[in-house]
Amino acid sequence: MKTRSITTALFYLLLLVFAAWYIVPFVWAFATSVKQPGMVFDGRWLPYERTHSISIDGQVQEIRIVEEHDDTFLVRVVGNNELREVRRSDVERLSPNWNNYGETWQAVPFGQFFLNSILVTVCITVGQLITCSLGGYAFARLQFPGRDTIFFLYLATMMIPGPVLTVPIYLLLREYHLLNTYQGVILPGLFSAYGTFLLRQFFLTIPKDLEDAARIDGAGSFGVYMRIILPLSGPALAALATFVFIGSWNDFFWPSIVLTDPDLLTLPVGLALFNDLYLFQYSRLMAGSMISIIPAILLYLVFQRFITRGVVMTGLKG
Amino acid sequence: MNTRSFRHSLVGYAFLLPNIVGFLLFALGPIVFSFLISFFNWDLFARPVFVDTANYETIFTEPGARFWSYFGNTLFFLIVVPVQMAVALFAAWLLNENMKGTLFFKVLFFIPVVLSVVSITIVWAYILDTENGLLNQLLGFAGVSKVSWLYDPAWIKVGISLMVVWQGSAFSTIIYYAALQGIPDQLYEVAMLDGAGRWTQFLRITVPLLAPTHVFLAITGCIGALQLFAPIYVMTHGTAGAAHNLIFEVYGKAYHEFSMGYASALSWMLFILIFIMTGLHWRFLGTRAEYA
């Protein structure tokens, strides 16, 4: 019994170590994001503010800090030039600098980046669900010459890494003047061999009897697709939607190549630009990344089970 | 062909149409095109000039042994794969004990999966900051002197790898955790009767039974690690510096120098690399996976 409780304690300890490994970067970034100007590198986690006027003998006096010690400050009282030793807590007080967020939000068009990301991601997710489910249904259930050859080609292209495709797609978009447009980001995202494959595999597991029964009732192929296949494929469609949504929301490589106009940038590309503009201004940078991290975490907490299942089903890559 | 099956075929093609247009324009077409232009010199302005295999030869003969430098860097980042798998396997194993409060830890451990690499990298760039970064502060407590994680060519790849492991281990934890749930409890019960301790159970039952998962994570992990781009871009503000890898070379040649043929040839080198890597995995891990 005793060794068991020791083991349990050890397990909790290890879990806490892992928890720290994942949570400390966020806490630290958040703490930095609300620090007061001039106090960013004070080596403390909590945001302190220094006042320039303290109450001495019942009178509010303006002061200048001369020397810092561990618990005390040597300050010069501006009014009478007198040097005084005061407690650190008289001069410093906790005060999160929320303005940092407002100023960061204004520094680059974050609002626009969010809208761009939402537009691009929603179009790609909806579009891919449509093309992949139509194609997946055709491969799983419909008969037509060349079906299996075409499907084999799909599988073969899945072996080719994305960067091989980007140069020709870039040239294609350039030819049709789609560089630096939303369409340039969205169009290549509307198709996925992987998504088609994933849905085909799922559709194959749906009992054929259901489809036959619907056909006897007079349903055509489209009717079967709409009324049998799609409603029974909730988990697979949700998993693919999660996969595509997270992937395109966070995509950096492709949008960074296609988009250059600051008003068109998606959130990750905009953040990278912001990162270049505010070099070493860490409280700003942390506020900027928090602006993108906090909504993602909140969404994740709401849809946690759902997202985890989607990740497992699709083998989503980070 | 009778009219009925002809009509059936038309229906099939109709369903496939939007999908296959995308396939031709954004998958098959680009692959063929990329292969063809890898034998041409093309700077987007003048006409493409056929150069035979010169682009492929240039990759290896560029002055200053450039190829070996970025090729070496590309391979270096493979180090993240075993590390993140080990971290994840251990974390998933702890979660699978189903102790009180596991849900909290589970939710926490999975968070990095949904976050954008760019925002996480910005946070990590500060963690790795030489003067004020968290990592150097922590190492300072252990008496280690400050390391210039992002500016010392010897350390930058390690710094980037740390961040990649941090995010990648979360994804691997989810996958391992799901796989662990599939291992029947009876196996552990039998082992316990035989007097096997927790650690022995882990090594003798958990690790071998997860073989297919190891292979899956090793392959997807390597494919990802060979194509690392966003973390390097953000940490180095687009310069890559000493972390310059194959993808960066493609990126630079294609979108800064507009050497489209050469960039395509380079991108096929990446394909070959991934192909070999995946083949090796099947060869050495795949056979063992069949036992499970």
pLDDT at A3 over 90: no
Measure in Å the smallest separation between the Cα of A208 and chain B Cα atoms.
17
Per-residue pLDDT band for A1 (boundaries 50, 70, 90) equals low
Q: Give me the sign of the Cα torsion angle B66, B70, B73, B75.
A: negative
Q: What is the percentage of chain A residues whose pLDDT exceeds 90?
A: 60
* Non-local CB neighbours of A146 within 8 Å, separated by 6+ positions: none
Q: Give me the sign of the Cα torsion angle A310, A315, A316, A318.
A: positive
Measure in Å the smallest separation between the Cα of A207 and chain B Cα atoms.
19
Contact criterion met (CB below 8 Å) for B134 and B127: yes
* Segment B135-151, tens digit of pLDDT: 999 999 999 999 999 98
pLDDT at A264 over 70: yes
Contact criterion met (CB below 8 Å) for B119 and A285: no
CATH for B63-289 is 1.10.3720.10
Q: What is the mean pLDDT of residues B167-190?
A: 90
Q: Residue A25: what pLDDT?
A: 93
The beta-carbon contacts of B216-219 under 8 Å, at least 24 apart in sequence, are: B216/A315, B216/B175, B217/B81, B217/B85, B217/B88, B217/B172, B217/B175, B217/B176, B218/B81, B218/B85, B218/B281, B218/B285, B219/B277, B219/B278, B219/B281
pLDDT at B236 over 60: yes
| Contact criterion met (CB < 8 Å) for B126 and A257 | no
Q: Which residues on chain B are in Cβ contact (under 8 Å) with A296?
A: 114-116, 119
* Segment A67-93, tens digit of pLDDT: 888 788 888 888 788 888 888 888 888
Between residues 39 and 58 of chain B, which touch chain A (CB distance below 8 Å)? 44
Q: What is the mean pLDDT of residues B52-69?
A: 89
Q: Residue B5: what pLDDT?
A: 79
| Contact criterion met (CB < 8 Å) for A293 and B22 | no
CATH 1.10.3720.10 domain residues, chain B: 63-289
Q: What is the mean pLDDT of residues B220-243?
A: 92
Q: Which residues on chain A are in Cβ contact (under 8 Å) with B119?
A: 268, 271, 288-289, 292-293, 296
pLDDT at A317 over 60: no
Q: Residue B292: what pLDDT?
A: 36
* Segment B79-138, tens digit of pLDDT: 999 999 999 999 999 999 888 888 899 999 999 988 999 999 999 999 999 988 999 999
Rounded Cα distance, A170 and B260, in Å: 10
Per-residue pLDDT band for A316 (boundaries 50, 70, 90) equals low
Q: What is the mean pLDDT of residues A200-210?
A: 91
Per-residue pLDDT band for B269 (boundaries 50, 70, 90) equals very high
Q: Residue A31: what pLDDT?
A: 92
User: Does residue A183 or residue A95 have the better pLDDT?
Assistant: A183
The beta-carbon contacts of B128-137 under 8 Å, at least 24 apart in sequence, are: B128/B159, B128/B162, B128/B163, B128/B235, B129/A282, B131/A41, B132/A40, B132/A41, B132/A43, B132/A282, B134/A24, B134/A25, B134/A28, B135/B162, B137/A43
Mean pLDDT of chain A: 89
Kindly state whether B167 is in contact with chain A, defined as any CB-CB distance less than 8 angstroms: yes
Measure in Å the smallest separation between the Cα of A304 and chain B Cα atoms.
7
Q: What is the mean pLDDT of residues A147-155?
A: 93
Measure in Å the smallest separation between the Cα of B114 and chain A Cα atoms.
6
Q: Which of A131, A145, A318 sits opposite B19 (nearest CB)?
A: A131
Q: Residue A92: what pLDDT?
A: 81
Q: What is the mean pLDDT of residues A219-246?
A: 91
Strands of A83-87's sheet, edge to edge?
A53-56, A59-68, A72-77, A83-87
* Tokens linked to A153: 């080609």
Between residues 212 and 251 of chain B, which touch chain A (CB distance below 8 Å)? 216, 220, 223-224, 226-227, 229-230, 233-234, 237-238, 247, 250-251
Mean pLDDT of chain B: 90
Secondary element (H or E) of residue A92: strand A92-94
pLDDT at B290 over 70: no
Q: Which residues on chain B are in Cβ contact (under 8 Å) with A139?
A: 16
Measure in Å the smallest separation between the Cα of A285 and chain B Cα atoms.
7
* Segment A234-259, tens digit of pLDDT: 989 999 999 999 999 999 999 999 99
Per-residue pLDDT band for B249 (boundaries 50, 70, 90) equals very high
DSSP B261: H
Out of A82-91, A210-219, B180-189, B252-261, which region has the weakest mean confidence (pLDDT)? A82-91
Cα–Cα distances in Å, from A156 out to A153, A318, B7, B23?
5, 22, 29, 12
Q: What is the percentage of chain B residues whose pLDDT exceeds 70?
A: 97
| Contact criterion met (CB < 8 Å) for A157 and B27 | yes
Per-residue pLDDT band for B43 (boundaries 50, 70, 90) equals confident
What letter represents residue B256's amino acid? H
Per-residue pLDDT band for B287 (boundaries 50, 70, 90) equals low
Out of A4-8, A104-108, A241-245, B179-183, which region has the weakest mean confidence (pLDDT)? A4-8
| Contact criterion met (CB < 8 Å) for A135 and B105 | no
Q: Residue A318: what pLDDT?
A: 38
Q: What is the mean pLDDT of residues B194-215?
A: 87
Q: Residue B283: what pLDDT?
A: 80
Confidence (pTM): 0.90
